């Protein structure tokens, strides 16, 4: 029985070690970049190819409330709902809106945010074009 317990706790230790390495890109500070350092400069400079026209923002909102399922975690007002673990981003935070570029958001849509429940969206449930448009919609939460 004692030996069984020892094996169990060793297993637990291994799980802990592995889960901490898989959370490498994750940072507790919400303002800290989610994009790995070696890519950051290029990704930050990527422009949104779609202009923030009323039509594009509306299409982005359809993705947010529809097949992107963003609303499930980020909420109707963009403030983020309460979940266990790391909170979904509050898009109404002006400091975060200022710091993050559209390119960085696209990276998160394509890769998820490792170590959090933010899932991969572009390439799985929405197209790249829909991704850029939902980013335009996220910008509309700024200053709300």
* Contacting ligand HEC within 91-130 (CB under 6 A): 100, 104-105, 108-109, 113, 116-119, 121, 126
Least separation in angstroms between residue 19's CB and ligand HEC is: 16
Least separation in angstroms between residue 138's CB and ligand HEC is: 6
57 sits near ligand HEC (criterion: CB under 6 A) = no
72 sits near ligand HEC (criterion: CB under 6 A) = yes
Least separation in angstroms between residue 37's CB and ligand HEC is: 14
- Joined tokens for residue 123: 């390439």
Q: How far apart are CA 61 and CA 140, in angstroms?
A: 10
Q: At what angle do helices 37-44 and 102-111 cross, to 10 degrees?
A: 130
Q: How far apart are CA 16 and CA 61, in angstroms?
A: 39
Cα dist. 11→5, 6, 15, 94 in Å? 10, 9, 6, 43
Chain contacts with ligand HEC (rule: CB under 6 A): 26, 30, 34, 68-70, 72-74, 86, 88-89, 100, 104-105, 108-109, 113, 116-119, 121, 126, 134, 138
């Amino acid at each position: 029985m004692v030996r069984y317990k020892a094996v169990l706790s060793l297993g637990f230790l291994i799980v802990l070690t592995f889960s901490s390495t898989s959370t490498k890109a994750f940072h507790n500070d919400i303002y800290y970049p989610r994009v790995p350092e070696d890519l950051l400069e290029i990704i930050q400079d990527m422009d949104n190819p779609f202009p923030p026209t009323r039509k594009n923002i509306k299409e982005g909102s359809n993705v947010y409330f529809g097949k992107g399922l963003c609303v499930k975690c980020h909420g109707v007002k963009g403030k983020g709902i309460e979940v266990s673990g790391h909170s979904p981003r509050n898009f109404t935070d002006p400091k975060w809106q200022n710091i993050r570029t559209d390119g960085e958001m696209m990276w998160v849509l394509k890769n998820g945010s490792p170590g959090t429940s933010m899932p991969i969206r572009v390439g799985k449930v929405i197209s790249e074009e829909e991704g850029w448009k939902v980013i335009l919609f996220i910008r509309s939460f700024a200053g709300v």
